[in-house]
Structure 1
Amino acid sequence: MSFTVIIPARLASTRLPNKPLADLGGKPMIVRVAERAALSGAARIVVATDHASILAACERHGIAACLTRADHPSGTDRIAEVARAMDLPADAVVVNLQGDEPLIDPALLAASAALIGAQVPMATCAHPLHEVADAFNPNVVKVVLDRAGRALYFSRATIPWARDAFAQSRDALPAGYAPLRHIGLYAYRNDFLQAYPALQVSPLESIEALEQLRVLWHGHPIAVHVTDAAPAPGVDTPEDLERVRAHFP
C-alpha cells in the first residue's frame, strides 16, 4: 500500500528546548527521524514544522519540509494542514510519525498504514506489557481491543482489570495476562484526517488527556496492529537524548 509519512516538529519543548535540532551523530534529530521513516517504504516523507530553523535544517539534508501555522493545538492539526497543501486525494493514507522517534521500527509505519481502508479511517499500534510497574503507570497508555483488532478504549488506568488476581496481589502480573501498551503512531485516511480537527472534543478525552478518545467517542473505528516487541523509546528529556546518542556515534 502506498502511504505518505508526515512528521510534525515544533521547536518549543518544555523539557528539552530545540529538541528537533538536537545533534545525533552529526545530523539533527528531525533528519534522523525522516531517514528512519524512509526505511518504511513510504512513497513520500514530509516534515511539518512551525519554525524556519527546522525547515532550513531539513532542506540542508535533502528532506522535504513544509512551514505551517504556529498556533495548531496538536500535531494532528499540523499534519492535516500539510496534507491539504500537498493536495492528497481523499483516500490517500497518511502516517503521523512523531519527530522525537529516531529509533522507531520502520515496519510499524507500514503495518499501521496497511490497516486503513474504506471502513477503517484510522489505525495505530500496540504491544504486550510484561512488567507490573508499566501496567500500573498512568504515563503508560493502555488499549483494549475487540475480536476484530479494533480499539474499544484507551486509558491511563490498568485495563483490562484482572479483578480476582489483583484482589490477591498487585506485586506481579497474573499468568496469561498481558495488557497492551499503546504506541503513539497513527495512520489516517486523508478524508478523515481533514475532518478530524473539526470533531468536538469529547469528555473522555478531557478526563484522560488522550486525544485518540475523541475518535472513539464519535463512533469511528481505530484498527490496532499488535507487535510482539516493545519499540525503542522516544526522546523527551536530556537523559533520553544522551541514551539515544549512543546509537549514533
Structure 2
Amino acid sequence: MSKDILAVIPARYGSTRLPCKPLVKIGGKPLLYWVLRGLSECEVSEIVVATDHEEIAKFVFKQGYEAVMTPSELPSGSNRAAWVAQRKSADIILNVQVDDPMVGPDMIDPLIKALANSEEANVALLVKQIEKSDEISNPNIVKVVFDQKMHALYFSRSPIPYERNKGAVYYKHIGPYCYRREFLLEFDSWPQTPLEKTESLEMLRILERGYNILCIKSERDTIEIDTPEDVMTFERYLEKHGDEMPWLRR
C-alpha cells in the first residue's frame, strides 16, 4: 500500500478479570505474542505496543518490537493509540486489541484498504454476523447496525435491532479499529459524550458528533480474550490446530 500504516497495540496492565492480560500465558506463550505474530504478517509499516507497565515493555523489546510507555489513566485503547500517533508520522493508525490473538492479514489488510479508499469515512472497523444466539443478549458482545452504505448507525451492548417482526440479522463489532491519523488526534481531544458514557462504548463518541464509521464485513470470527473462560477456549483451539491460525489456512 502507498500509505504509511502505523499499527498500535494498546496493552495496559490493569484488568479486573485478567490481571496483566497481555502477559497471560496461552499455549505456553503470552497473549501479546499471538497478537504480534498475526500483525507481523499484515501490510503495515510499523508496529508499536502502547503500555503502562515495564514488564510488558520488556517482553515487547525481546520480541524485536518498539514499546511506548503511556499514562495508566488514559481512558481507552484509542486514547493510547493517539498518544503514540502524536509521536509518530503515519497516514493511517491501526488500533489492534491486545485481546485478539487470532488477528491476521485476511481481516486487517481489507480493513486498511477500505479506509484508504473511502471518501466519506475517517474511521473503519470490522463487523461479523452473529451466528451464536447467546451472543445476541450478551452485554460483552457489542452489537452494531449500519445503513446501506455500510456506515454505522449505532453500537450497543443490547440486542439491536429489536425483533418486533421475525427475520432480524444481528452483527457484532470485532477486532481492530482503523483511523486517519489527524482524525484520531481530534477524537483524542474530545470529551466523552452522553451515549458513550451510558454504554461505555467509545465509538458512540464519533457517531454523536456526526461523523461516519465505515463497517467492513468479516467472513470469520475471532476469539477475544476477556475472561479465564476465553483463555480456555483459545487453549482448546491451539490443542486442536496447533499454532496454525485461520489466516494461514486461507
When normalised by structure 2's length, the TM-score is 0.87
Name the CA distance, whole Å, in 2 between partners of 1:139 and 1:70: 23
1:75-154 aligned at under 5 Å gives the runs 75-86=77-88, 88-89=89-90, 92-116=91-115, 117-154=118-155
Output one character per residue of 1:179-226: Cα deviation in whole Å (capped at 9) or x when no partner.
111114200000011111222322111222211001000011000001
Match of 1:206 among 185, 192, 197: 197
Name the CA distance, whole Å, in 1 between partners of 2:97 and 2:45: 18
Name the CA distance, whole Å, in 1 between partners of 2:133 and 2:13: 35
State the partner residue of 2:230.
Answer: 240
Ranges of 4+ aligned residues in structure 1 off by more than 3 Å: 24-27
Query: Please, what is the CA RMSD of the aligned residues?
Result: 1.8
Name the CA distance, whole Å, in 2 between partners of 1:11 and 1:32: 17
Q: Give the structure with higher Rg (CA).
A: 1
Aligned length: 235
Structure 1 gap ranges (5+)? 166-173
8 Å CA contact 2:60, 2:66 repeated in 1: yes
Name the CA distance, whole Å, in 2 between partners of 1:24 and 1:156: 27
**1:128: Cα distance to partner?**
1.0
For 1:112, what is the secondary structure of its paired residue?
A: helix
Report the CA distance shift for 1:63/1:25 in structure 2 as closer, same or farther (over 3 A). Answer: farther
Residue identity in the other structure for 2:229: E
Structure 2 gap ranges (5+)? 244-250
Pair 1:40 & 2:30 matched: no
Pair 1:193 & 2:184 matched: yes
8 Å CA contact 1:28, 1:57 repeated in 2: no
- Percent of pairs with identical residues: 35
8 Å CA contact 2:101, 2:223 repeated in 1: no
Pair 1:216 & 2:207 matched: yes
1:26-65 aligned at under 5 Å gives the runs 26-65=28-67
Name the CA distance, whole Å, in 1 between partners of 2:182 and 2:198: 27
8 Å CA contact 1:31, 1:63 repeated in 2: no
Name the CA distance, whole Å, in 1 between partners of 2:10 and 2:124: 17
8 Å CA contact 2:96, 2:176 repeated in 1: yes
**1:132: Cα distance to partner?**
3.0
8 Å CA contact 2:127, 2:215 repeated in 1: yes
Mean Cα deviation higher: 147-156 or 15-24 = 15-24
